[in-house]
Structure formats: C-alpha cells, structure tokens
Amino acid sequence: MTRLAVRDLAVARGGLRAVEQLSFALAAGQALILRGPNGIGKTTVLRTLAGLQPAVAGTIEAAPESLAYAGHADGLKPALSVAENLRFWSRVFDGPEIGAALERMNLRDLATRPAHALSAGQKRRLGLARLLVTGRPVWLLDEPTVSLDSASVALFAGVLRDHLAQGGAALIATHIDLGLPEAEILDLAPYRARPGQRDQRPAGFNEAFA
Amino acid sequence: MKSLLIRDLRLATRAGGGFGLALAFFLIVCTLVPFGVGPEGGQLARIAPGILWVGALLACLLSLDRIFALDFEDGSLDLLATAPLPLEGAVAVKALAHWLTTGLPLVLFAPLLGVLLHLPGPAYPWLLASLLLGTPALSMLGAFGAAVTVGLRRGGLLLSLLVLPLYVPTLIFGAEAVRRGASGADPVTPLVFLAAITLAVLALVPFASAAALRVNLR
C-alpha cells in the first residue's frame, strides 16, 4: 500500500525554486532517507509535504491527516512538565495515551520534570515521543537525531523500526547513519533546480513577508 | 480545542507567563491620572470613562505579541498547523485564552479603579457591561495583529500600529456608553453598536488571522 506518492514536485524557498522534478513513492513499512548538501532544500521538501507551504508544481498524494511532521524545533513549552507537554499533543492529535510513548523513548523517570530543566538530548527525545502520540502513519523527520547520544539514536532507530513494522512509513532528512540498513536513500542532488529560474507565481508577495 | 485552551491558561498563570502584567499596567494608569490631572472630583468624574477605557485598551495591547510569538519560536505553531485542529479554531481559542487571562481580569478590576477616578455611581453597571462586551473584540483583533507580525523581530511596535486603528470604534462606543451612563442618559445605543462590532469581529477575524498565519509559516 502506498502511503505517500509524490510526482514532479517542485518546491521553493524564499521565492526561488530549490528542488524540482522530484518523484518518489513511499509504501507502508518503508523508510526513505533524504540526502543532499546543505541548502539543497531537504527541509523545504518536508515542510511542503507537511502542508506548511504550497508546492510550486507537481502533486502530493497522501491520505488526509496521515502525515506527522517533526522539524528542527520540538514545540515544547518550558513551563510545562514532560507529561503535560506530551499529553497536550496527544489530545490535539486525538492520539493514544502517553504512557507507552514515555516508556518507549525512555522518559518515564523524567515525566514530572519541567521541560526547561531537560538537556538538549532529553528535549529531543520528548520531541520524538510526540510522533508516537500523534497516531499518524507517515513520519516526516527533519534531522531527528540532532543532539542525541548514540544510545538514544539506537533507541530511536528501534522505535522507527517498530513503527515501520506496524505499517508506518518515514521520510527522514539526515546526515548520519541511523542504523537502518533497510532504508533506501534518495539523493536530492540530481533534482536541484536549475539556477536563474524564478518561481512563476506573482512575485513580491512572499518576499514582503520574508 | 479544549486542550489548547487549558494549555494556554496554564502557561499564562505559571511563572513567566505574564499573567497580571496587564492588570498592573491598568492600575498604574488609573492611579497616576489623578496625580497628573489634579484631585478635583468633578474634573476626574468627567474624564473617568475615557481614562478607564483607554487604560483597559492599552493594558490589553501589552501582552498581544505573546499570543503567537512564543509558539512560533519553539515550533509549536508549525505542529499546530499540521494538527487536525483547524487553524481558524486554534486562533479563536488562543484569542479566548488571551481574553480570559487579560480582558476578563481588567473587566472585574475596572469598578475598583472607577472609585479612584470618582466615576459617578450610576455608571458602574454600564462600565462593566461595556467592558464585558468590548474587550473580546480587543483580544480577537489583537490576535489578528499578532498573526500578521509573527516571526518579525521586535514586531511589537508594528503590531501596536496595526491594531490601534482597529481598536478605535470599540473605544468610541465603549467609552460613550459609560459616559452616557454617568450622565444619566440612555447608554443602550452605543452598547448595541459595541456588541455588533464585537460579534462581527468574532465571526470574521479568525479567518483573516489564520490566513495571515499560513502565509507567515511558509
């Protein structure tokens, strides 16, 4: 079963095309790793797929509300505890209870600690635990392993593998080896937009807000 | 939606949430005015409706930039935009949370400050009624300004300039209702206008705010 199908996608950042003619399909149980040098548009592709910005061209096919996006920021409130942060996202997404997610990401002992007292790696683990409470099958992950130690990377790889085994799918932009040998690699370099070609939409609007 | 409201209320009342800032500002304005204008009761009573309304409006303005800025910085806004909750609903809930933590305390506190300003006795029910009807519009229009300026460094100044003209009708009718109440005239007409403005704002502005947020998230 195809979870996500992308055809001839072109995305733009700051009014300039970054990636174009990108096509791929993501089946249930499949993980795809986005590679490419800095600035090629990995984040832009993920944000476009998540619906945070419109595609310049091409089609994105996915079941409605099947995508969960995790960006560079974890969306944590420093004044709330770990459990309160996670419970909030679980309720917003109508997802499962938080107990299992806390257990899986090894956050049980930190549940009552306010998020401002967490280390960078612990915050990241909490941000990733959010994916588990969204209950959504396709994960769009932007550098998920930033500030994680090797034990936590392995922990997350295990979570990811379970997610795939349950019919989920994941699209991951990362530079490091996640320890997922079965994941396929999609290099964005061949899809880099030719320079000098500007976005065809009425110019000036996005720039005014940039 | 309920969980978003509860979270915002919880954040506002915890340390560093800024709850009480608007109240403190309102108190300062209303205690300083008698010192500036002089202690003569008749003069104070004449300007009291206007001072109370301007004070409440400016106090409301203080905390507007926090409505979306904090969520934008920590990435929550991206995640909310991808959540099943419609963005229009999220905007409305956040404006409601702002009103509950800023507008409502101002409404309840205003009669006390009315005493400081020699507000005539018959005006008190109309002061409460006009603030109760008017302040929701202030929060909702403020949420629109916050949505337009989210992501801008030091957007507070631009936000104030954008929002102040939108506040003028509410201020005119609100203060007029209290003034009429104080002088014994019929305050119902300005109150009806005030209510109409608030209803129109509550019905239309969430859509404009959500559209502005979508543009700013790109």
Query: How far is the C-alpha of A142 from the C-alpha of A45, rounded, in Å?
Result: 10
Query: How far is the C-alpha of A35 from the C-alpha of B133, rounded, in Å?
Result: 55
pLDDT tens digit sequence for B157-183: 899 999 999 999 999 999 999 999 998
Q: Per the structure, how many domains does chain B have?
A: 1
Is B207's pLDDT higher than 90?
yes
Residues 191-210 in A contacting B (C-alpha not used; CB under 8 Å): 205-206, 209
> What is the pLDDT at residue A210?
47
Domain that holds residue B213: 2-217
3-class secondary-structure state, position A172: strand
CB contact under 8 A, A80 and B7: yes
pLDDT mean over A156-164: 89
Is A108's pLDDT higher than 70?
yes
CB contact under 8 A, B74 and A77: yes
Is A104's pLDDT higher than 50?
yes
CB contact under 8 A, B79 and A130: yes
CB contact under 8 A, A79 and B16: yes
CB contact under 8 A, A52 and B81: yes
CB contact under 8 A, A71 and B78: yes
Interface test with A, best of B4, B6, B7 (most A CBs within 10 A): B7
Interface test with B, best of A47, A92, A199, A206 (most B CBs within 10 A): A92
Please, are residues B201 and B140 in contact by the beta-carbon 8 Å criterion? yes
Is B12's pLDDT higher than 90?
no
Q: How far is CA A208 from CA A52, A200, A205, B163, in A?
A: 18, 16, 5, 19
> What is the pLDDT at residue A206?
52
ipTM value = 0.83
Please, are residues A48 and B217 in contact by the beta-carbon 8 Å criterion? no
* Chain A neighbors of B11, CB-CB under 8 A: 77, 79-80
The domain ranges of chain A are 2-191
CATH of domain A2-191: 3.40.50.300
CB contact under 8 A, B81 and A94: no
Least confident residue range of A50-59, A180-189, B79-88: A180-189
- Residue A68 contacts B where some CB pair is shorter than 8 Å: yes
